[in-house]
Structure 1
Amino acid sequence: MVFSLEQRIVIVEGYVRSGSIKETQEAFADRYSGTKPPAKRCIQSLVRKWHQTGSVGNMKKSRPPSVLTPEVVRDIQQRIASGPRKSTRRLSQQVGVSRTTCRRVLRSLNLKPYRLTCVHDLKEPDKAKRVNYCKWLLTVITDGHVNPLLYFMTDEAWFHLSGHVNTQCTRYWSAESPHLTHETPLHDQKIGVWCAVSGTRIVGPIFFESAVNTAVYLDIFEQFYHQLTPEEKTCCFFQQDGATCHTSHDALARVHELFTEERTVSNGLWPPRSPDLSTCAFYLWGKLKQKVYASNPHTLDELKENITNTIRSITVEELRAVSANMLRRAQRCIDANGDHFQHLL
């Protein structure tokens, strides 16, 4: 409990006069009825503080001096140049000035704190493959060989039914401990979602519950193919990543049978570790995971319904914009020589 300055003085004076913890507590209770008397440790702490400092008030925390000199500015500039990720707290400790002074100096140097963006890891051979794919894509679209509105990009993702409890934010207010517990499953419930995104529509969602192997993937692929229009079956291009279940002998044989090798973008042409080039990865999954949990679904059926309704609400105009963004990303990837290009968008 926090006592006012007047109450602290009364506590110390009462103890000095009586020398008794109990009498000090009783005198305090008589004077401040309705206020809980100070505990023994509180009284001892206040008396000890009075003996050491001559005061029972709160002492102001000492801060490093904030004296700005050319030497301090130069020191801060050199330290931040050698370690751009250094925090102002660490910088303050090293230079010996306050954090406020450090921030003021950094602003005067036209330096701003930028948040780091986590991106996928790229291997050196991946960059050439990414450039090769992007050049192919832009070339066949420019030549009219591929209609970007009939280019289906496919992927699957897991959606978990949230069963995690943040104990730091979970409280039950009561006069006595109710000894409540919250039961959670050992393995969180989840549902797999497969979608194919083109510039005019999304085929899916197609749900699955087990790990995707060749048999599961072929079943998903057949469901997808039967939902295509005659024009799409004849003219569309089909993209899939290089996952083992996608590129197994049986899976590729069926894909090539229905789309031919010429209209299949898969292992060999599609670059590995390139979610930033896939409309499902850079657009759809993020949009779904932002929307479907807003109503706090409690069952997998509710989660499925939210996913389906969100996909159905996506307009053709939005998909056309995503298709245009896909082409813009391909050009930026070429400009970056296959490296990360988010900063160029």
Structure 2
Amino acid sequence: MFLRNNSSVIRTQREFRRRFPHRPAPIGRTIRRFATRLEATGSTLDRPKSGRPRTGRSAENIDAVREDVEECPETSTRRRATQLGISRRTLQRILVKDLKMFPYKTQMTHQLLPADHRARLDYCQRVINLNLEEDDFPSKLVMSDEAHFHLSGHVNKQNTRFWGTENPRIIQETPLHPLKVTVWCGICVDRVIGPYFFEDAGGNAITVTGERYRTMLRKFLIPSLDEFGLEHIWFQQDGATAHTARDTMDLVRDAFPGRVISRFGDFPWPARSPDLISPDFFLWGFLKSRDHNITSKYANLT
């Protein structure tokens, strides 16, 4: 391409992108080096190297690394290189270039007990049946949850580095009890109901108790549903103690007769199932990914 385009790097890169749209075009220095080698030797291959051949990535080492990884995949590259008697750089090249392996992190999920699998499956099947039996069921469903948002920010030491000729001795002070705010939200098909902040008269965050949760239901959720004109609503809440206290359940049953998805409700909610509700599945993660350091709770959550 380079020779055919009158030794123009720009034209060569354009033609390369047209022919290989999913591959990055080589830089000018690489293009000229290949062209020079092609004119001098008739080939773009590297010239044979003189001296003793390097044996770090030998077939024996590759097989040894493969067997070691299959036997103990969680061993660090530093310790594995020491155990196999090869350099860490050679080990990394064997893992990536020869064995096509990459490091993966452990994913943390909620623990499920043996009975939880059947309960979750029965719940999902019942939701499907209810969607078929009741007209426009998704528009009548409100799924709710609370979440904590830390106001002081968080520093990840693993992702923060300071380069210099000397150690700057940088220290990040953190409070013993970091400031946070507890937020409640409800999600229905076309809107987010909330946020509602659990706080005292001075604007300080407070824990969610049964009494405070009932106050939220009376003074915020039920008036909001009336304001939006939402009727015959199915209300979902998880099995937190504040949600399922006797007085709380009496209030919820009166507000949503026969349409309560909860522990001790008309529609049993399976325990340990945060992934089955919209706030945990989408809303909280979306808000925290948009702004990790929430300095103004109303500005970032409304």
TM-score, normalized by length of structure 1?
A: 0.59
Q: Is the 8 A contact 2:140 2:230 kept in 1?
A: no
Instruction: Work out whether 1:162 is the aligned partner of 2:156.
Output: no
Instruction: Work out whether 1:221 is the aligned partner of 2:217.
Output: yes
Correspondence for 2:76:
87
- Cα separation, 1, equivalents of 2:81 and 2:148: 44
Larger of the two Rg values belongs to structure? 1
Residue type of the partner of 1:251? T
1:208 maps to which of 178, 190, 198: 198
TM-aligned CA distance change 1:68 to 1:190, over 3 Å: closer
User: What is the Cα deviation at residue 254 of structure 1?
Assistant: 0.9
User: What is the Cα deviation at residue 73 of structure 1?
Assistant: 2.2
The superposition leaves residues 7-31 of structure 1 with CA deviations (integer Å, 9 ceiling, x where unpaired) of xxxxxxxxxxxxxxxxxxxxxxxxx
User: What is the Cα deviation at residue 258 of structure 1?
Assistant: 1.3
User: What is the Cα deviation at residue 304 of structure 1?
Assistant: 2.4
Correspondence for 2:234:
237
Correspondence for 2:262:
266
- Cα separation, 2, equivalents of 1:191 and 1:142: 39
1:103 maps to which of 77, 82, 92: 92
Correspondence for 1:62:
none
User: What is the Cα deviation at residue 274 of structure 1?
Assistant: 1.4
Equivalent position SS for 2:225? coil
Q: Is the 8 A contact 2:225 2:231 kept in 1?
A: no
1:72 maps to which of 61, 70, 73: 61
- Cα separation, 1, equivalents of 2:138 and 2:154: 41
Instruction: Work out whether 1:306 is the aligned partner of 2:300.
Output: yes
Aligned length: 229
User: What is the Cα deviation at residue 79 of structure 1?
Assistant: 1.0
Q: Is the 8 A contact 2:140 2:231 kept in 1?
A: no
Residue type of the partner of 2:247? D
Residue type of the partner of 1:87? S
- Cα separation, 1, equivalents of 2:176 and 2:207: 18
2:133 maps to which of 133, 140, 143: 143
Correspondence for 1:5:
none
Q: Is the 8 A contact 2:237 2:261 kept in 1?
A: yes
Where does the alignment leave 5 or more consecutive residues of structure 2 unmatched? 1-53, 163-170, 200-205
The superposition leaves residues 49-87 of structure 1 with CA deviations (integer Å, 9 ceiling, x where unpaired) of xxxxxxxxxxxxxxxx85334332222111101112222
The superposition leaves residues 220-267 of structure 1 with CA deviations (integer Å, 9 ceiling, x where unpaired) of 112101111488653221100001111111111111111113x11101
Residue type of the partner of 2:111? D
Question: Structure 2 matches for 1:121-200, cutoff 5 A?
Answer: 121-144=111-134, 147-162=137-152, 186-200=176-190
Q: Is the 8 A contact 1:238 1:265 kept in 2?
A: yes
TM-aligned CA distance change 1:241 to 1:183, over 3 Å: same
The superposition leaves residues 154-185 of structure 1 with CA deviations (integer Å, 9 ceiling, x where unpaired) of 001122220678999899xxxxxxxxx99875
- Cα separation, 1, equivalents of 2:176 and 2:92: 46
User: What is the Cα deviation at residue 205 of structure 1?
Assistant: 0.7
User: What is the Cα deviation at residue 199 of structure 1?
Assistant: 1.4
TM-aligned CA distance change 1:165 to 1:127, over 3 Å: closer
TM-aligned CA distance change 1:148 to 1:225, over 3 Å: same
TM-aligned CA distance change 1:86 to 1:182, over 3 Å: closer
Q: Is the 8 A contact 2:143 2:235 kept in 1?
A: yes
Correspondence for 1:250:
247
Equivalent position SS for 1:228? helix
Question: Structure 2 matches for 1:20-35, cutoff 5 A?
Answer: none
TM-aligned CA distance change 1:254 to 1:146, over 3 Å: farther
Q: Is the 8 A contact 1:292 1:307 kept in 2?
A: no
Q: Is the 8 A contact 1:217 1:245 kept in 2?
A: yes
Q: Is the 8 A contact 2:141 2:188 kept in 1?
A: yes
Where does the alignment leave 5 or more consecutive residues of structure 1 unmatched? 1-64, 172-180, 309-345
Q: Is the 8 A contact 1:66 1:98 kept in 2?
A: no
- Cα separation, 2, equivalents of 1:92 and 1:162: 41
Equivalent position SS for 2:242? helix
Q: Which has the higher contact order (CA 8 A, sep 6+)?
A: 1
